[in-house]
Amino acid sequence: MPPDPLPRRIRRSRVLLTVSLAAALLISVAAFFILQAIPDVRTAFLIDTSQTKSDEDFVAITNAVGSAAQNSADADSLSLRRFGGTCGDRHNTESIVEPGTGQARKINTSVRTLTPSGQPTLESGLLAAIGEFSGRYPFRGSKSNRIIVVTSHGVDACTADRAALERAVATRAQDSGVRLDFRFFGYKIPQEQQQPLARLATAAKAPAPRFVTTSAELTTALKELTIPASPDAKHVEVHPTEPSPSPTPKTSPTPPPTVSAAPAAALADGTHQVYIKNVDPQAHTLTVDEIEYLVGAEAQAAAKADGIGRAPNDVYIRNADKKTVDLSVASDARIEINRMTTDPAAGDPTWSRKVSLEQLAERFAALGRTHFEPTTRAFDLTMTNGRVGALHEKWRP
């Protein structure tokens, strides 16, 4: 009589069940470790290693980046990439430290070994940095993915078409499949290169670049950005040394007073191009409207794109939203005017007259009583520590 097949089927089912449970356990363990390996924040430092005016300027940049890396949270994934070299050379951007957690010390050491050379190849560096976020591995940040650009140049030496550069960066960022948070820091960037970098930041949907002129400002700015967040910080109770009587129970405890944070400055530190809409010497404030002051080929291209036609004298001012902001003026702010003086010497673009805020207000009011509209005079305005530190009327042909 043949053996009963039921026990064999039972044994086979038990084996399959055991294998299935083991596989499920292995998958669960693997998933746990993968989730543990995914950082909350992934930050890529992109540093300009092209030639600077002095070795001290470059050392200031490398020191600031190294300090910012050391200041990051231990669980953050960090990487370091450089750009600068020869146009068309595939080595004009290079990964120095690959993404990963626990890389702060390596970045701090590696960045200080870099030396400046070549031309600024900002486009190559940015596109390569974005490309590093395109794949699923190294793991992206679950909460934030950032590219921090630290540069001493506001333009790419190899790309004359700035609009094409802006489109390329915007397209590559969109195609990366992840939301990238760009931050631009400019160190001693020439004034004429600040606006191109600001437009690139806008194309990348980033805040306005932070322009600084001292190593201390750069170090502080980067540290403020990378300081670890502390969402789980607990309230620390301070116990008095002397015993205190038990508090009388209250049915409706009085809530602690709300402490409001100090309001942020209306414009970021750095240079802006503005119209002045009002001057208040008593309150020591200016009301301004930020503009784009374009010259040369860039002015003609913008005027054509906006349907204006040709820009007279190769100057075109773009004022999209006409939004005004009130700014506090530093007591030692340097204020210079030229055309507003109506002095014959103002025909020289290199000439200017230093005035006080009160004198600027007087001149502003005087022009307001004539056909010389004062609110359409363009100025370069420099914000320092949240206040207007300098104001210079732009000479316009």
Residue 167 above 90 pLDDT?
A: yes
Would you give the distance in Å from CA 152 to the centre of its chain? 14
Q: Are 108 and 67 in contact (CB under 8 A)?
A: yes
* Residues 77-94, mean pLDDT to the nearest whole number: 95
Band of residue 199 on the pLDDT scale cut at 50, 70, 90: very high
User: Omega before 3 cis (within 30°)?
Assistant: no
Please tell me the distance from the alpha carbon of residue 91 to that of residue 87, in angstroms, as a whole number.
9
Share of the chain above pLDDT 90, in %: 42
Q: Are 290 and 264 in contact (CB under 8 A)?
A: no
* Strands (DSSP E) found in 49-128: 77-83, 93-101
How much is the pLDDT for 370? 56
Range picked from 22-36, 104-118, 311-325 for highest mean pLDDT = 104-118
- The kind and range of the H/E element at 33 are helix 6-37
For residue 45, report the phi and psi dihedrals to the nearest 5 degrees: -90, 125
Residue 115 DSSP label: -
The three-state secondary structure class of 219 is: helix
Structure tokens at 288: 């301004």
Residue 334 above 50 pLDDT?
A: yes
* Residues 202-225, mean pLDDT to the nearest whole number: 88
* Residues 70-87, mean pLDDT to the nearest whole number: 92
Please tell me the distance from the alpha carbon of residue 239 to that of residue 234, in angstroms, as a whole number.
15
Would you give the distance in Å from CA 31 to the centre of its chain? 35
* Residues 164-191, mean pLDDT to the nearest whole number: 92
Query: Picking from 65-74, 334-343, 357-366, which range would have the lowest pLDDT averaged per residue?
Result: 334-343
Please tell me the distance from the alpha carbon of residue 28 to that of residue 22, in angstroms, as a whole number.
10
Please tell me the distance from the alpha carbon of residue 127 to that of residue 105, in angstroms, as a whole number.
26
Share of the chain above pLDDT 70, in %: 77
Q: Average pLDDT, whole number, for the chain?
A: 81
Would you give the distance in Å from CA 360 to the centre of its chain? 33
Based on its alpha-carbon atoms, the radius of gyration of the chain, rounded to whole angstroms, reads: 29
* Residues 264-275, mean pLDDT to the nearest whole number: 81
Query: Picking from 248-252, 356-360, 368-372, which range would have the lowest pLDDT averaged per residue?
Result: 248-252
Would you give the distance in Å from CA 205 to the centre of its chain? 10
Model-level pTM?
A: 0.54
State the residue for tokens 């470790």.
33
Q: Are 73 and 56 in contact (CB under 8 A)?
A: no
